[in-house]
Structure 1
C-alpha cells in the first residue's frame, strides 16, 4: 500500500519538480546574462493576467495545444511517437478553412459541422499513412511523420497559391476570413473576455479531454490500444489485431491533431495564410502531453501553463527588458527535466528508501 501511495505521489511530484527546476534554470540563465529573474517572471505574470482579454487569450492558446497533446498521448499509449502532429494540424487548418469558405451563407449548424469534419478527416487521413506503413511494412513512424510534416507544409502553400479558387483569396498566400456562420467565435465569449479571440475551441477541448479519458479508461478499444502499446506480441496472442490497433490509434491521433488545426483556423485566426515553418502547436503539444503525463487533467494544466509562458513572455522585453527567447529557454528547460524524469524518480525513490530504513531502525531500537 505504501509503495502504491509513493508511486502515485511520484506521478504528481515529478512534473511539479520539472516545472520548478525549469524555472530555476531559466532564472540562473537570466542572471548569467545580466537580467533580473524576479522582475522577468513578475512581468510574465503581469502580462498574462493583466485583464480579462489577456486571460481570454490564455484559453485561446490552450485550445489547440490540448488537442495536439491528446493526439500525442493516444499514439504514445499505443507505443508510437507521432512527430507529425504539426503537419496533421496544418492539414486540418487548410481543409476547414477551404470548406468553410465554400459553404457561403449556409446555415451555421451545417456549415460549421462540415468545416469541422473536413479538418478532422484531413488530419486523420494524413496520420493514417504513417500508421499503415508502420503496421504493414514495419517502417519507422518517427521518420515518416517527420517527412510528412515537410510534405504537408509545402503542399499547403501550393494549395493556397494555386488550387483554392481565387475568389477565396485575399492577397497572395492568404485566404479571406470565413463567415460568421463558420467561425468558432461567439458574441458572448468575446464580450465576457473584453474583446479577446476566445472561442468555442476551448469548450470543445474540455469535452474531448473527457471523451479521450473515457475512451482510454472505460472502453475495449482503449484497453486494446494500451495493451498493444505495452506488448504487441502478447496482444496478438490474446486475439487482438495489432495492425488494426496501430492504424486506428494513428487515425485517432491525427483526427485530434486535425481538430487542433480546426480550432486554430476557425477560432484563433479565421483564415489561412502560408506558413514558413511547421506549426508550433504540434511540437508544443508533444511537450504538453509529456509534462501532463498523458492524463486529461495533466494535459489541461500543462496547456494552461504553456499558454501563460508564451503569452506572458511577450511582456518580458517591455516591462523587464528580458528577451522573449528566454521564455523558450524556460520551456525547453521544463521539457529537459521531464525528459530526465527518471533521474528525479530515482532521487525520490532513494529519499523514500532512506526514510523507510531510518523508520525501521527506530522501530527496531524501540523493540
Structure 2
C-alpha cells in the first residue's frame, strides 16, 4: 500500500460506515429540532424494517430494486462512465417486461414467460442506453447530460404508449390490462416453504437480483471484458496503448449498465404491480447512484447498501405512521442526507483517515 492509499477494509468498510454515521447524526439533529427523540425514532425505523416478518419482506422488496439500479451504475463506474439514466432505462425496461407478459400470460405458465420478460427488460434497457453511449463514444457528447435527457424522453414515451397504444380498453387509467397468472411472478413465500412475509410483495426477482450480482462480479473481475472495462476506467490513454477500443468499451459497458437497470422492472411489473403503469420506477434509478457509491461499486457492497436503503424506505414509512410529527417529507430528508454523505461527500473523511493510517505505519517503516 503506497502513501495516500488506504487499506481495502478501510476504503470499502470503515469509510462508508463513517459516512452513514455522519448522515444519521445530522438526521438525528433534525429530528431533535422538531421535538422528537432521535433514539426512539431510530428504534421505530429499525423495528419497522427488520423487527417483523412483513417489514422484512418489504425491506427486501425495495432492496431488490436498488440492487439492479446499483449494479447498473457500478458497471458504468468501472469504465469511468456516469450513467444517470437508470430511471429512464428501468422505465423502458418495463415496456419489455409488459410486452412479454401481455403476449404470453394467457398461454403459458409464469416460468415460461419469465425468461422472455428478463430478456425483454434487459434488451429494452440496453437499447435505451445505446444512443447516449454512441453519442459519448463517437461524438463526444457527455453521457451525464444525454442520459438525464433520455430519462425525460422515456417518461414522455411511456405516457404516450399507455394513453394511446397499450391502455386498457374502456379505462381512463394510463395502464395496461392486468396480467393473467402466466405473467405473474410467484411470491418468495409461495416457493420456499417456511417463509412468511405477510402481504409484502417479495417475489422471485430477489433471486434474479442476487444472480445478477454474481454475474457482475464475474464479469468485472474474472473476464477479459471486465479487465478491459477496468483498464479503460483507470486510464483511457493506457487502454488505447494496449489496443482497447474506447468506442467499443463505452458502448458495451453502457449497454450492460442499461440492461441491468431495465431488469429492475421485473420486480415491479411482473412481481408486484402485474401491469405496466405510469411512474412505477419512483426514483429507484437515482437512488441506485448512492447505492453504488456507498457499496464502492462492488456487488457485495451494493447488496448491503441496497438493504440499508430498503430499511430507510420501509422503516421510514413505519416511522411516519408512528410519529405523525415526523412526516413523509422528513423521511425523504433523511434519505437525502444519506445520499448526500454517501455520494457528494463520500470522500469527506478520506484525508483524515490517510493521515491516521500513514502515522500508524511510520514506526514500522522507520524500524525497517
Mapping 1:167-316, distance limit 5 Å: 167=169, 171-186=172-187, 187-188=190-191, 192-275=196-279, 279-316=282-319
Q: Distance in 2 between matches of 1:170 and 1:102?
A: 20
Identify the match of residue 154 of structure 2 among 140, 152, 155.
Answer: 152
What CA deviation, in whole Å up to 9, does each residue of 1:22-56 have, x standing for no partner? 11110011112222211211121222134212211
Q: Is the 8 A contact 1:59 1:307 kept in 2?
A: yes
Q: Distance in 2 between matches of 1:278 and 1:147?
A: 16
Identify the match of residue 345 of structure 1 among 347, 350, 353.
Answer: 350
Q: Distance in 2 between matches of 1:14 and 1:140?
A: 30
Q: Distance in 2 between matches of 1:6 and 1:251?
A: 32
SS at match of 2:297: coil
Q: Is the 8 A contact 1:60 1:268 kept in 2?
A: no
Give the C-alpha shift of residue 8 in structure 1: 3.4
Residue aligning to 1:55: 56
Residue aligning to 2:134: 132
SS at match of 1:192: coil
What CA deviation, in whole Å up to 9, does each residue of 1:165-204 have, x standing for no partner? 645x754212222122121224335963233211011100
What CA deviation, in whole Å up to 9, does each residue of 1:136-158 have, x standing for no partner? 11111111111100000011010
What CA deviation, in whole Å up to 9, does each residue of 1:280-319 have, x standing for no partner? 1100111111110011110000000000011100111222
Q: Please, what TM-score do these two structures have when normalized by structure 2?
A: 0.91
**Would you say 1:93 and 2:94 are equivalent positions?**
yes
Q: Please, what TM-score do these two structures have when normalized by structure 1?
A: 0.91
Q: Is the 8 A contact 2:126 2:262 kept in 1?
A: yes
Q: Distance in 1 between matches of 2:231 and 2:184?
A: 39
- C-alpha change, 1:125 and 1:285, in structure 2 (3 Å) is same
Residue aligning to 1:107: 108
Q: Is the 8 A contact 2:83 2:147 kept in 1?
A: yes
Q: Distance in 1 between matches of 2:144 and 2:120?
A: 25
Task: Name structure 1 gaps, 5 residues minimum.
Answer: none
Q: Distance in 1 between matches of 2:115 and 2:11?
A: 42
Residue aligning to 1:320: 323
Q: Is the 8 A contact 1:26 1:326 kept in 2?
A: no
Identify the match of residue 336 of structure 2 among 332, 341, 354.
Answer: 332
Q: Distance in 2 between matches of 1:5 and 1:116?
A: 39
**Would you say 1:82 and 2:83 are equivalent positions?**
yes
Give the C-alpha shift of residue 5 in structure 1: 7.0
- C-alpha change, 1:2 and 1:77, in structure 2 (3 Å) is closer
Q: Is the 8 A contact 2:108 2:182 kept in 1?
A: yes
Identify the match of residue 118 of structure 1 among 113, 120, 131.
Answer: 120
Q: Is the 8 A contact 2:100 2:117 kept in 1?
A: yes
Q: Is the 8 A contact 2:86 2:286 kept in 1?
A: yes
SS at match of 2:348: helix
Q: Distance in 1 between matches of 2:199 and 2:57?
A: 9
Q: Is the 8 A contact 2:228 2:249 kept in 1?
A: yes
Give the C-alpha shift of residue 111 in structure 1: 2.1
